[in-house]
Amino acid sequence: MEKFELHILGCGSALPTTRHFATSQVVNMRDKLFMIDCGEGAQMQLRRSKLKFSRLNHIFISHLHGDHCFGLPGLISTFGLLGRTAELHIHSPKGLEELLAPMLAFFCKTLKYQVIFHEFETKQPTLVYEDRSLTVTTIPLKHRIPCCGFLFSEKQGPNHIIRDQIDYYQVPVYELNRIKNGCDYTTPEGEVIANNVLTYPAAPPRRYAYCSDTIYRKQIVPQISGVDLLFHEATFAESELARAQETCHSTARQAAQIALDADVKQLVIGHFSARYEDEQVLLEEAKAVFEPTILAHENLCISL
């Protein structure tokens, strides 16, 4: 099975602590790296996770709060120091280019690569990236400012050839791509060999959903239904529900309820408030509703 990994670089919330870095993650899809949010220290954590800077070409920013994007200027500058020449694409809600342009013009005058900004709307799901193996679609969230999560969806792969059957029916090499893509094979004598005799299906495509920052929002359930892995913010425990509602964040119990309603396979919670020196209380609260829940922590790697 092809590589599809989630690397947690930081899982803290806005107030810095010695326990957690600000929010940032990397999805490794077949050795292509996609960063989600870029809080302070993201480039240091990228090093610690032993991920290659050169394989990161797309960054997705959920919203324009500092703990999700203050790491960008340093990362862009470091790419320049490393001699990068490949384009860097940054996808975000409207306003990021306007904010970063003066800083880049002052500190990054000699970049030998181009930083390209792509703005997206946050009110409805939007396809923001696609290649041969992956699509990335926004997940509309509700926060104090425009905010979106991201759904990473692997595309269905071609069928796998059954070599013994191919040899038995003496199928020519030039027919193999057609057969992998679902076509039957007709022998020189006119006999039709059904595709399911010659192939077996590829593994079901995998999906990862990222939802941070947001108030409890059940409207996202249909879009993330059945995903292999869900990251959902759990900034507070249920005892701080009023504070969660005031700041447009979720509790651990609410994150678990979303996972339960969406029938996801696994939940990882993060974006922890600095008030919790031990996040075990959040884990226990979530697991009481949705048992397959784990805590995010720096340099955690989850394979889908």
Q: Which residues of 111-150 are buried (b: 16+ CB within 10 A; e: fewer)?
A: bebebebeebebeeeeebbeeebbbbbbbbbebeebbbbb
The residue to which tokens 């997940």 are assigned: 139
Three-state SS for 56? strand
Long-range contacts of residues 123-128, Cβ cutoff 8 Å, at least 24 apart? 125/151, 125/223, 128/60, 128/91
Active site residue 164: no
Among candidate residues 37, 67, 213, 228, the one labeled active-site is 67
- What DSSP designation does 146 have? -
Three-state SS for 269? strand
Q: Which phi and psi angles does 42 have, rounded to 5°?
A: -60, -40
**Active site positions, annotated:** 67
